[in-house]
A and B are shown apart, each in its own frame.
Chain A
Amino acid sequence: MTALALDGVSVSLGGARVLDGLTYAVEPGEWVALIGPNGAGKTTALRAVAGLIPYDGRLRVFDRDAGVTARRELARQVALVPQVPLIPGDITVREYVLLGRTPHLGYFGSEGRADHRAADAALEQLDLVPFARRRLDTLSGGERQRATLARALAQDAPLLLLDEPTAALDMGRQQQVLEIVDRLRMNHGLTVVSTMHDLTLAGQYADRLLLLDGGRLVASGSADEVLTRALITEHYGAEVEVVDAPGSGFVVVPVRRPQ
């Protein structure tokens, strides 16, 4: 069984081909990072998997054709944490996390005991218990990110999609969030697909990196295979040095070009 299998998935937005024949598979329990320059199609790939945009090609989630899976059923398999979640300011953290139970409820249903338990467990997992009754707009950026992660965890979907989970966080919060994701992955047997801008962090946390450029998959493999000076220079147009730092993986260092 594969957790996620894309077979020639293409997406056109406004006449432009944003994703072009993407083919890859993710094993259960794996953490795969999508990397690539701006506009490479990373976020589009996540949105297609979450069933939010139409696509050509075949997309299978846990061996079921996602294209013919009902929206609610798909939401029980796939949880998405967007890069900039829309935060409704005037509801509490707990009310927000409880929204994650939506795919498990009927159209007019309301939460039962199991749903409240799932929300409480998610709050606990993300150290949000003291914040449960706080309004979302009183939270800091890092705390909000944790609240959105808690909502995704309450959704109880085995495949977790993260769009730039560390964007707009400081170095310490970035590390903290990635450690949390890794812990959740281990404890709950989750499969994680995330887009990442920070290549060093991507190499440290993901099992496998997929490098996208112009909507195409141009390289894939472990950090030492993908994080090479040649590949990064070619596809990011950046001048970098890749340092193999013992104990911390491959560190991608930008190099200032001579004037």
Chain B
Amino acid sequence: MRRGDARVWLPLAFLFLATALLTGVLVGPVHLGAVNVVRATFAHVFGLHSPLTGADDAILWELRLPRVILAALVGGTLAAAGASYQGVFRNPLADPYLLGAAAGAGLGATIVVAYAPGSRLNGDLLPIAAFVGAALAVVLAYALGRSAGSVAGPAALVLAGVTIASFLTALQTFVQQEHVDTVQEVYSWLLGRLATTGWREVAIVVPYAVVAWTIILMHRRLLDVLAVGDEEAASLGVNVARVRLLVVIAATIATAAAVAVAGLIAFVGIIVPHTIRLLAGGSYRLLLPLSVIVGAGFLVYADVIARTVLSPQELPIGVVTAFFGAPFFAVVLLRTTRRAA
């Protein structure tokens, strides 16, 4: 398979996603049947009569499908955001949480859990607080990085992100220490979870994800230009600061929305783009669309594992992404570097 060939890789990625979605809705304690699932889904979308019985239909439409769709949205968003951050910062280790989004969201979530415990309020407030926390952290990091000087370029921003993240994590730990009883709830949120109540979470994420994906994908060629360095990109007529700002805003908003509904799911933003880089090449024209599609499928599979291995208990999905993602990444890394050598 030729690297960089969209005609090969895009269909393959879509096939991976389709298989993941189907697996996601089929796996569970109640058997639904592949044909019925597909027909019932179409029936709901086009307002027709579902072939499933009332209870089965509810399982599909109220439980499994929202969860699978949410996993896909969150996965695609984290992978695309990760790839974007790696592009604008020219840093292969950048992930969506690089500029403090995770620490900010963690602080927001902890404050809600600590000061509005267990209430109905909690369920509504937590996503908002996490979103605001994540976005605010990145705004702070950006402001700090910019005032540190554009001469230092992306490095100053990354350092600012580390600074803000440490500070917010300290605050979060402090709040948590003051309310030790909330540790378990905060901890489970930090590990990431894809619990859904109908379509509510999906509705929260969709607008942010769609806008962010659009902005990021429209910058895919410019991210290739940024790969030659700030100064060379500028000599090619590109306003580097503007590209970086727009992509960071898009990636951050999407990450904040994903974190708000799913907690901190680790590793997706690194594993998925890098696996694609190793297989299909590093050009962002192909890397970004593939990251969205493959990231979506990857998290759906991870969620299937999270809800089946300890069934009826659930494993935190962040544990699954790291546990299965890291060795897989290692295999890909070894195989490709050996072939290249």
Q: Which of A98-106, A191-199, A215-223 contacts B (4 or more CB under 8 A)?
A: A98-106
Return chain A residues, CB-CB under 8 Å to B38: none
B224 within 8 A of A: yes
> Is B231 in contact with A99, judged by CB distance below 8 angstroms?
no
Q: Is the CB of B236 within 8 A of A95?
A: no
A28 to B60 alpha-carbon distance, docked (Å): 72
**Contacts A86-B229, A95-B4: A110 and B236 contacting too (C-beta < 8 A)?**
no
Contact residues, B232-290 vs A (CB, 8 A): 232, 234-239, 277, 281-283
Contacts A90-B282, A99-B224 given; does A50 touch B235 at CB 8 Å: yes
| A76 pairs with B228, CB closer than 8 A | no
Segment with Cβ contacts to B, from A77-85, A177-185, A239-247 = A77-85
Given contacts A88-B227, A99-B224, are A75 and B236 in contact (CB under 8 A)? yes
Complex Cα distance A82/B234, Å? Answer: 12
Whether A88 pairs with B236 at a CB distance below 8 angstroms is no
Instruction: Return the contact of B234 from the options A52, A95, A96 (Cβ within 8 A).
Output: A52
Q: How far is the CB of B334 from chain A (nearest CB, A)?
A: 17
Chain B residues contacting A91 (CB-CB under 8 Å) are 4, 224, 227, 281-283
| A100 nearest in chain B by CB position | B236
Instruction: Assess whether B236 is in contact with A89, with CB atoms less than 8 Å apart.
Output: no
Are A71 and B229 interface neighbours, CB within 8 A?
no
| CB <8 Å contact, A76 and B237 | yes
Could you tell me how many residues of chain A have their Cβ less than 8 Å away from some Cβ of chain B?
A: 36
- Interface flag for B221 (CB, 8 Å): yes
How near does chain A come to B322, taking the closest CB pair, in angstroms? 24
A206 sits at the interface (CB 8 A): no
Whether B221 lies near A95 (C-beta < 8 A) is: no
Interface of B is mostly: loop
Closest to B243 in A: A107
Bound-state CA distance A95–B3 (Å) is 12
Given A85-B228, A99-B225, A102-B225; A92-B281 close (CB under 8 Å): yes
- Roughly how many angstroms separate A38 CA and B227 CA in the complex, as a whole number? 28
Is B211 an interface position by the 8 A CB rule? no
Please give me the residue from chain B that is nearest to A107 by CB atom.
Answer: B222
User: When the two chains form their complex, are residues A89 and B282 in contact, meaning their CB atoms are under 8 A apart?
Assistant: yes
Instruction: Confirm or deny: A155 has a beta carbon within 8 angstroms of a beta carbon on chain B.
Output: yes
A92–B4 contact, CB under 8 A? Answer: yes
Q: Which of B222, B224, B228 has the most CB of A within 10 A?
A: B228
Contact partners of B231 in chain A: CB under 8 A? 47, 52, 82
Complex Cα distance, B228 from A82, in Å, reads 11
Nearest neighbor of A50 in chain B, beta-carbon distance: B235
Contacts of B218 in A (CB 8 A): 108
Q: Is the CB of B237 within 8 A of A72?
A: yes
List chain B residues, Cβ under 8 A from A89: 282
Contacts of A135 in B (CB 8 A): 281
**Is A74 part of the binding interface, using a Cβ–Cβ cutoff of 8 Å?**
yes
| Cα-based distance from A133 to B232 in the complex (angstroms) | 22
Alpha-carbon distance A170/B79, docked complex (angstroms): 43
- Residue contact A75 to B237, C-beta cutoff 8 Å: yes
Instruction: Report which of A75, A99, A107 forms a contact with B228, defined as CB distance below 8 A.
Output: A99
With beta carbons under 8 angstroms apart, the residue of A85, A88, A95, A103 that contacts B237 is A103
Determine the distance from Cα of A105 to Cα of B225 in the docked complex, in whole angstroms.
12
When A90-B277, A99-B225 are in contact, do A79 and B282 touch as well, CB less than 8 Å?
no
Docked-complex contact B239 and A71, CB < 8 angstroms: yes
Residue of A80, A109, A133 touching B235 (CB-CB under 8 A)? A80
Q: Are A79 and B235 in contact (CB under 8 A)?
A: yes
Chain B residues near A109: list those with CB within 8 A: 221
Tell which of B224, B232, B238 has the most Cβ of chain A within 10 Å. B232
Interface string of A60-81 (1 = CB under 8 A from B): 0000000000011111101110
Evaluate whether A88 and B235 lie within 8 angstroms (CB atoms) in the complex, with A95-B4, A99-B228 already known: no
Is A75 a contact of B235 with CB atoms below 8 Å? yes
Residues in chain B near residue A100, CB distance under 8 A: 236
**Hey, which chain A residues are within 8 Å of B225, CB to CB?**
99, 102
Residue with the highest number of chain A CB atoms closer than 10 Å, among B218, B228, B235, B282:
B235
> By the criterion CB–CB under 8 Å, are A99 and B235 in contact?
no
Q: Given the complex of chains A and B, what is the CA–CA distance between A96 and B283 in angstroms?
A: 9
Residue with the greatest number of chain A CB neighbours at <10 A, chosen from B239, B277, B283: B283
Q: B285 to chain A: closest CB distance in Å?
A: 8
A212 to chain B, nearest CB (A): 21
The listed residue (A92, A103, A108) touching B236 by CB distance below 8 A is A103
Complex: how many Å from CA A109 to CA B221?
8
Nearest first, the 7 A-B pairs at minimum CB distance are A90-B282, A75-B237, A103-B237, A72-B237, A86-B229, A88-B227, A102-B236
| 14 A-B contact pairs sorted by A residue (CB < 8 Å) | A71-B239, A72-B237, A74-B237, A75-B235, A88-B227, A88-B282, A90-B282, A91-B4, A91-B283, A96-B228, A99-B224, A99-B225, A99-B228, A103-B236
What would 9 more interface pairs be, CB under 8 Å, given A71-B239, A99-B228, A109-B221? A47-B231, A78-B235, A88-B282, A90-B277, A90-B282, A92-B283, A99-B224, A103-B237, A107-B222
